[in-house]
Structure 1
């Protein structure tokens, strides 16, 4: 299995003013991401509003991203659904269209409360695409499932033949580190909190999947470079810029704000579907002013690394 490396963008789903899919914008979005140094695409996850899209919409979005990527970087399709049957069908579709990896959240309306229950659920989902690696998407703040991931990987490997790893979106670095080392590093565990990337690198992460990589990949590339070269103070400075950016974005509904920033960068991806919606024109201009004041439009494009003093 080829492990994921560096920065995987959790991609946005382009919508038009009416909230319908605007798939003509997928190719420009992919080219923007590749030019900024992205090394993979994570499609229809939380960022891509997978849970707000119909199953047919999700199939169309997945196919558009696979086509636009054209084999240049791995494409991961998030197939999680409250209906395991729907999730399994989305897995099968991902395999049919040539995706590289499938990933899934667990059902979230009826909570998954045991390791055994989570393994059973994910086994059903993963069975739809037996030829593709499967990464469980651990995001307890949204799913409400706080299953121990060490136990899940240990038990899941016995039942899910294509279990490859995790998309780990939780702030528990100690558990993340334990998952990385489990069974002599058998599993590919990918970090999912952009504002804590430096901490994850320090505990052994080799890849991250995140939303803000869409708008500031050069910043994170420099952070990884600085840390890898031993310039820890510089890496901290770069992570602090990320934290300030995310703090600014969080003054608004986060994903509508992110889509607004992509619009500022010339990518027409629209707003979000309800319940998230879109920013008002006044909020867009307010956000632009705040991002300008912190230098975002300079350092999100180029953020040169300097040595520690």
Structure 2
């Protein structure tokens, strides 16, 4: 499915957090301030209910409600919503896909089942085809994230073989450090597939390989860093691009030391965006841990980096 330029995931697409109340209940009223925060940074698309969105910790009903709230919130804005619909239960994934299409999602995406894993590429393609068929008018992105699913097959081969089975296949959400495979995917049918990059800390390498867009969690709280990185790369200003990429790695390393999901959500809180704590099995930071994290981010210069032009 060769998407027109206007429908491709070019630039930054934050993989958004799912907001929770302190007691872990879904906090749908927090979607609107999260969207407003991202629109302030001129973000044009969001990827909801994915890994950052803790999808495997949500019930089916909660995932349906999350999609409905996002679609309601962005109505009348330039923001597009890509809904992650992947699930270990393919019937649930198909229901989520159909629902996303019904509510006007710009695209859907699904990672591989990860408890009972597809044993070969053909089985993976069959899983993706079953999900995509439930939303026959909506672009579909396979979400390749082997570090989380434990499912690792050749993505160039996937694109080659899956196209005839998935008419709506638009490309890949490539959350995989294999830049060789990424280059091969981009060059298979140059310009045909839309393949946003999915590893924020390696974005500069992906840009050099041919990436035009990216889906990532740290864009929620550090979008200006990456916007400057992409702008510098486009001008062949590699010194500036490397500086911004280094900042990205420093931010991510700092959060990872505290437990990435909890630290990322705490960072959003520091920016006055109420996404709440994570859900178990992810654990939240307590007050003293948040204070330590904030001090470390201040020492980096993180909050100043967000204000730079």
The TM-score normalised by the length of structure 1 is: 0.96
Deviation of the 1:266 alpha carbon: 0.6
Deviation of the 1:185 alpha carbon: 2.8
**Aligned pair partner of 1:31 in 30, 36, 40:** 36
Q: Please state whether the residue corresponding to 2:101 is helix, strand or coil.
A: helix
Q: Does 1:75 align with 2:119?
A: no
**Aligned pair partner of 2:61 in 47, 56, 68:** 56
Q: Is the 8 A contact 1:219 1:302 kept in 2?
A: no
Q: Does 1:9 align with 2:14?
A: yes
Provide the rounded CA distance (Å) in 1 between the counterparts of 2:138 and 2:184. 25
Match of 2:253 in 1: 247
Q: Does 1:209 align with 2:215?
A: yes
Unaligned segments of structure 1, at least 5 residues = 305-309
Q: Please state whether the residue corresponding to 2:275 is helix, strand or coil.
A: coil
**Aligned pair partner of 2:277 in 256, 261, 271:** 271
Provide the rounded CA distance (Å) in 2 between the counterparts of 1:3 and 1:267. 27
**Aligned pair partner of 1:46 in 51, 65, 89:** 51
Deviation of the 1:277 alpha carbon: 2.2
Deviation of the 1:18 alpha carbon: 1.1
Provide the rounded CA distance (Å) in 2 between the counterparts of 1:221 and 1:268. 23
Q: After TM superposition, list the pairs within 5 Å mapping 1:130-169 onto structure 2.
A: 130-169=136-175
Match of 1:177 in 2: 183
Between 35-44 and 148-157, the greater mean CA deviation after superposition: 35-44
Deviation of the 1:198 alpha carbon: 0.6
Q: Does 1:121 align with 2:127?
A: yes
Provide the rounded CA distance (Å) in 1 between the counterparts of 2:206 and 2:112. 23
Q: Please state whether the residue corresponding to 2:195 is helix, strand or coil.
A: strand
Q: Is the 8 A contact 1:81 1:105 kept in 2?
A: yes
Q: Is the 8 A contact 1:164 1:188 kept in 2?
A: yes
Deviation of the 1:37 alpha carbon: 2.5
Provide the rounded CA distance (Å) in 2 between the counterparts of 1:68 and 1:210. 21
Q: Please state whether the residue corresponding to 1:275 is helix, strand or coil.
A: coil
Deviation of the 1:113 alpha carbon: 2.7
Per-residue CA distance 1:121-161 (angstroms, 9 max, x = gap): 00001011000000000000000011100111111001001
Provide the rounded CA distance (Å) in 1 between the counterparts of 2:293 and 2:22. 20
Provide the rounded CA distance (Å) in 2 between the counterparts of 1:113 and 1:31. 42
Provide the rounded CA distance (Å) in 2 between the counterparts of 1:37 and 1:99. 19
Q: Please state whether the residue corresponding to 1:123 is helix, strand or coil.
A: helix
Between 129-138 and 67-76, the greater mean CA deviation after superposition: 67-76
How many residues matched?
Answer: 303
Q: Please state whether the residue corresponding to 2:46 is helix, strand or coil.
A: strand
Provide the rounded CA distance (Å) in 2 between the counterparts of 1:67 and 1:178. 38
Deviation of the 1:39 alpha carbon: 2.1
Q: Does 1:109 align with 2:115?
A: yes
